[in-house]
Amino acid sequence: DVKVTQSSRYLVKRTGEKVFLECVQDMDHENMFWYRQDPGLGLRLIYFSYDVKMKEKGDIPEGYSVSREKKERFSLILESASTNQTSMYLCASSPRGQMNTEAFFGQGTRLTVV
Amino acid sequence: GDSVTQMEGPVTLSEEAFLTINCTYTATGYPSLFWYVQYPGEGLQLLLKATKADDKGSNKGFEATYRKETTSFHLEKGSVQVSDSAVYFCAQTNGNQFYFGTGTSLTVIP
């Protein structure tokens, strides 16, 4: 069974902390994505990556960075967490250039910044 | 640019009622179209997809037809169940980027 695994289901962090959200996929996909989901706003793209060591800003990159040192792993970093980053974070992956294939999602990380 | 617009929620239906959730898209090319479902506290799961015009995707009693002439991909189910209560997302892809609607929350009451 194909899988995208996020390291934590729930996280509580303090304002100003550096936070790492990890995502691993076992499907050898080139594309990986980080979204945040907020009520009424749907999914908003934070960053995506087409290949190892490559990254592109999405719609809302401010306050975030990413790292992709290995093909299977894509990390989202909150450099200095703030309360407005309390949200549900979703990681996804897909094979590059394949129109017929969906994005596969992890189970999500519910982050609360206090 | 590419985008997806879907019906605002929330939607509340009685069990066995007919469901329609509207979805339209804007795309520069010919995208593939998807419906995802999200159960409480979970990530998104693929419900169905269609990859070219006039294709019909179907799964678990849900259906949607790719209508190029109206740029639409409306989700339908003839008889909803309590277990269908979830948030539904319409999405499109150009092969690399994915574009999602804002989601429609469905609650089915017995």
pLDDT per residue, tens digit, chain B (110 aa), is 889 999 888 999 999 999 999 999 999 888 999 999 999 888 999 999 999 999 999 999 999 999 999 999 999 999 999 999 999 999 999 888 899 999 999 999 99
Judged by CB atoms closer than 8 Å, whether chains meet at A107 and B100 is answered as no
pLDDT at A100 over 90: no
The encoded tokens of residue B10 equal 């929330």
Max Cα separation, chain A? 42
Q: What share of chain A is helix, strand, coil (3-state, %, to 5)?
A: 5, 55, 45
Judged by CB atoms closer than 8 Å, whether chains meet at A42 and B31 is answered as no
Question: Which residues from chain B sit within 8 angstroms of residue A94, using beta carbons?
Answer: 93, 96, 98
Under 8 Å between Cβ of A74 and A91: yes
CA-CA distances (angstroms) from residue B20 to A29, A40, A106, B33?
Answer: 33, 19, 27, 16
User: How near does any CA of chain B get to the CA of A70, in Å?
Assistant: 19
Q: Kindly report the CA angle at B55 between A3 and B69, in degrees rounded to 5? A: 125
User: How near does any CA of chain B get to the CA of A99, in Å?
Assistant: 4
CB pairs under 8 A between A and B: 60
| Alpha carbons A17 and B27: distance in angstroms, whole number | 40
Cα dihedral across residues B55, B46, A48, A97: positive or negative: negative
- pLDDT for the residue numbered B24: 97
pLDDT at A2 over 70: no
Q: Is A10 on the interface with B (CB under 8 A)?
A: no
* For residues A59-81, average pLDDT: 97
Question: Which residues from chain A sit within 8 angstroms of residue B95, using beta carbons?
Answer: 96-99
- pLDDT for the residue numbered B45: 96
Query: Which of B43, B99, B44, B105 has its CA nearest to residue B73?
Result: B99
pLDDT at A110 over 90: yes
Q: Report percent pLDDT > 90 for chain A.
A: 89
Other residues' Cβ atoms within 10 Å of the Cβ of residue B65: 17
Judged by CB atoms closer than 8 Å, whether chains meet at A96 and B96 is answered as yes
Other residues' Cβ atoms within 10 Å of the Cβ of residue A43: 26
